[in-house]
Amino acid sequence: MKIGWMVLVSLLFGCSGTTNGSDTSVSPDVLDATDTTASDPGQAANDPGQTNIDLGQTVVDEGAEADTSDVVEHFCPETTEAQVAATGVVVNALGDPSDGDKQTFVCVPPGTGPFPAVLYNHGGLNNVVGGNLEGTCTALANAGYLARAEYRPGSLVLPEHLQQVYDGLDALRGHSLADTSRVGILGFSRGGLLSLHVAIERDSDVQAVVLMAPAPGGGMLSLSSALDEDVAQISAPVRVYVSANDLFQADHIQLATDVYDALMDYDKDVELIEYPAFCSDGHALFFEVREPYWSDVLSFLDETIGN
């Protein structure tokens, strides 16, 4: 059994308020914390004053209004350097080029394969895409992974989004260059919530799971419903990442802690990393491929499904 742990990364990095030319000064996943088909605000803290044993960090009480008065806003450059495909990487866009990032991308690393494969699930709702589909797909292929970044139209409700993620996983596993014994799933915000449900329902098809600031969702597809007994079905190692000031649309720190605690209750291989406060809203950390979190993603994937 591998004991999970929480690490506080001390490096300070710049952050971006724009992606692909779109202004995201309003939170990148401003509509991601709740679902218009349900009203579950997510789980409240089990012990409002609970102190994490490992590092003595105080767990935030989700039932109380988040106090952000002491949050330090870090330097935020207006742009983030785009991911450039490495020599030999093939990036395929499955959709109308005029849709820009609102299309599915499949990225193939150089070589003959088969390759370990990773499915990326973005956040956002309605017309907001939380995350960088092409950039994440490209960065994964640059690191040697066959990658698929599945675009989900915001007009769909959560059950339809989940079905699209299932379809994306099937398409990735069905790719002629995919090593189906080495498949990872990477999800941000709503995509993190959906990735958790996929890890539960399709456990035998997924060998590594990364959840970045998972959203609460709602109804039968809420985070709280998945954390009851369902997580006992997960056998893949799980990593949960969140920023210290991801408190505005929902208390994503508490949500990430809830996931960690639920998996630990079943002695699962899980680790939680809380990164330093990022810009004015920590949710924006995962809107682009960047440090400090990206090297942790690749290290975990390399350890679990990499070559």
pLDDT in tens, 214-246: 999 887 677 887 787 789 999 999 999 999 999
pLDDT in the model for residue 25: 36
Q: Rounded to an integer, what distance in angstroms lies between the CA atom of residue 214 and that of residue 259?
A: 9
Range 74-93 average pLDDT:
79
pLDDT at 74: 58
- Residue 2 clears pLDDT 80, i.e. is over it: no
Specify the CATH number for 6-304; select among 3.40.50.620, 3.40.50.1820, 3.40.50.2300, 3.90.105.10: 3.40.50.1820
pLDDT, the chain, mean: 79
